[in-house]
Amino acid sequence: MKKLLFPLLIASISLVASCGANNPAPSPVPPPEETISYDRKVHNIKNLGFATGQYSPGQSHLIGVGGCDLGFPVYVEEINQFQFYFGDTFSSTTSHTGMWRSNVIGTCPDTEDLSDGITLEEFVCSDAGYIKCPINGHHDNNGVNEITKIPTGIIDVDGTIYMYYFSMHDWNAPQDNMMNYGGCIKSTDYGKTWARVYDLTWVNPESRNSKEKIQGLINEDVFNTPNVGTINIEDHYGFDATQIFPLDGKDGYIYLFCEGGYRNHGVKLGRVLKQNIEVFEEYEYFTGTYNSEGEAVYKKGKNGLAFIRDKSVTELVSVAFGEMSAFYNAYLKKWCMMTCASGYAMMYTADKIDGPYKQKITLFPGNDNRIVPNGAFYAPLSMEALQKENGKKMYMLCSTWLPAYNPSFIEITFQ
């Protein structure tokens, strides 16, 4: 589903973020009693209710999170906490209106029992107590400069949290021309404060925005202060990596599941040694080939990015991917990529992290209102820490555009 342009109404109010009220919240999607399955590898699926908004257990609309999407999960081991990174967030519960923040972080201290859903009672705040963005979006009009910045994946590396994101120029442009660039920010205090990692910049050479404006954007800090960084646009062209989902490969590498365009191409793969995660030229990209020992072959830096451009053979899966997540599932004994494709939430699996991803599991369709409340659904997001019973049960968030602009929390039990 293509993300629509929403009304731009910024309320002239300040909303203090605190613990949510204890009011009971009705759920528009009661958990089904019957067994639901669309694939022989899936035993049952349950919608456990909304994670945010007026129908959520945390009643987040009372503290300024009325509508939002996404919710990329990360488990912060150092403080034993789940964090969920949401995209465009509005204070109102209707029509994508009210105070607008491009991204916010909800926190959940209950990491053990997920069977009754999640309660997000707190969001990361400024010292003054206001819900804050990890990185500000400009909120310009479509096609002017930058309309928003959206998370694409989160990872905790030895206590430092990295948030990969993209800068959107124009939602109304053709899909390959929408984005300005993909970037990365980091936090060393578990999400309270953030800083740009300037070197981690992948510029979209197909953007409709001017080269001069993109050059200005990529050197701004998280508060949109201009000319702080010194990145040269020509050194950072990387169409295929403007959207990155990072994953620890448990072999010393962080793997990057990369997309170019917007919901318009398949997924490509990069990786970087964990200790080099902040160095652009140390990232290397899968060529689509394997050596005689069956090991994936990579090319490094700008040369690697140039090599994978316009080569479908370098795609792990040649399906138009939208927002995605990737993880290992010990019960299935597979590496998994999950997205919405052709109206279904799909999971593609492989024995090795770099593929080949030959198997697929159909999780559920968007037209089953017992699972998602409307067919306008997207972004099935999970991670290994959101699995129980050694991966037999998997929990995920899945966003809906209407009638409620909020992600649902869903439980999947495998056969």
Token digits for 9?
A: 């109404």
With contact defined as beta carbons under 8 Å apart, do 385 and 20 qualify? no
What type of residue is 58? G
With contact defined as beta carbons under 8 Å apart, do 47 and 370 qualify? yes
Spatial CB neighbours of 59, under 8 Å, sequence gap ≥ 6: 20, 21, 23, 25
With contact defined as beta carbons under 8 Å apart, do 43 and 363 qualify? no
With contact defined as beta carbons under 8 Å apart, do 164 and 184 qualify? yes
Backbone φ, ψ for residue 80 (5° rounding): 50, 60
Token digits for 294?
A: 């069956």
CA distance 373 to 404: 8
Q: Which regions in the chain score pLDDT beneath 70?
A: 1-33
Identify the pLDDT of residue 126. 84
Backbone φ, ψ for residue 32 (5° rounding): -70, 150
Instruction: Classify residue 96 as left (phi > 0), alpha (psi -120 to 50) or beta.
Output: left
328: which strand partners? 335
How far, in Å, are 20, 104, 107, 122, 226 from residue 17 at the CA level? 8, 11, 12, 7, 29
Token digits for 186?
A: 């980091």
Spatial CB neighbours of 165, under 8 Å, sequence gap ≥ 6: 103, 135, 149, 150, 151, 152, 182, 183, 184, 185
What type of residue is 279? V
Strands 284-290 and 253-259 turn out to be unpaired
CA distance 235 to 196: 17
Tens digit of each residue's pLDDT (9 = 90 or more) over 287-302: 999 999 999 999 999 9
Spatial CB neighbours of 259, under 8 Å, sequence gap ≥ 6: 152, 240, 241, 242, 243, 244, 265, 267, 268, 321, 324
CA distance 51 to 408: 6
Q: Is the peptide bond before 356 cis (omega within 30 degrees of 0)?
A: yes
Nearest to residue 150, comparing CAs of 219, 104, 186, 84? 104
Token digits for 291?
A: 């050596």
How far, in Å, are 105, 134, 342 from residue 156 at the CA level? 14, 15, 32
Identify the pLDDT of residue 5. 36
With contact defined as beta carbons under 8 Å apart, do 296 and 290 qualify? yes
For residue 141, count other CB atoms closer than 10 A to its CB. 11
CA distance 415 to 413: 7
With contact defined as beta carbons under 8 Å apart, do 82 and 74 qualify? yes
